[in-house]
């Protein structure tokens, strides 16, 4: 078994920072690993962040992070969608995470794919009803993050990503 570590993956939310505050020793640990030549990657399941905005936020908190080292749920989903080569899609998402989908043709009338992320301001009956009608017409659904939690009566419900 090799004793040298070539690379490390860090979860951003809850490991490097928690509720917007840097975890004690996290910046120094990243600096030390970088000084040792360890390849670093930073992951988050937040759909609201782009690679750029996530890296920028980490840099503002003192981390030496490059955009290309960050993988967000939005970025990973856009990579997956790129492989599918859709003619069009409707990305139900807000904030900087939407940046990752610039290259795709957006279509709210007849999308090939509906991509659902954290869409707080328009996650309402009208938009959900439209999405359901489009799915019934043949659109395919891609959920960026499924995080189930139990309600007080024990039924699972979908929970939005933090961030």
**Residues with active-site annotation:** 11, 13
Distance between CA atoms of residues 23 and 13, nearest Å: 10
- C-alpha pair distances (Å), 141 with each of 25, 36, 44, 68: 41, 43, 21, 27
**Token match 């993050």: residue?**
145
- C-alpha pair distances (Å), 138 with each of 49, 109, 111, 119, 134: 29, 12, 9, 22, 7
Return the SS3 of 111: coil
Please, is 73 exposed, middle or buried when counting C-beta atoms within 10 Å of its C-beta (0-12, 13-18, 19+)? buried
């Amino acid at each position: 078994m090799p004793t040298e570590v070539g690379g490390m993956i860090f979860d951003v939310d809850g490991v490097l920072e928690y509720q917007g505050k840097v975890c004690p020793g996290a910046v120094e640990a990243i600096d030390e690993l970088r000084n040792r030549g360890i390849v670093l990657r930073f992951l988050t399941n937040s759909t609201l962040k782009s690679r750029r905005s996530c890296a920028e936020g980490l840099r503002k908190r003192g981390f030496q992070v490059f955009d290309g080292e960050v993988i967000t749920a939005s970025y990973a989903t856009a990579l997956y969608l790129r492989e599918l080569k859709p003619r069009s899609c409707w990305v139900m998402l807000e904030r900087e995470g939407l940046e990752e989908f610039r290259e795709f043709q957006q279509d709210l009338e007849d999308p090939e794919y509906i991509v659902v992320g954290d869409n707080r301001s328009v996650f309402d009956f009208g938009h959900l009803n439209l999405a359901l009608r489009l799915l019934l017409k043949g659109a395919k659904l891609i959920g960026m993050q499924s995080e189930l939690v139990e309600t007080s009566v024990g039924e699972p419900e979908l929970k939005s990503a933090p961030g």
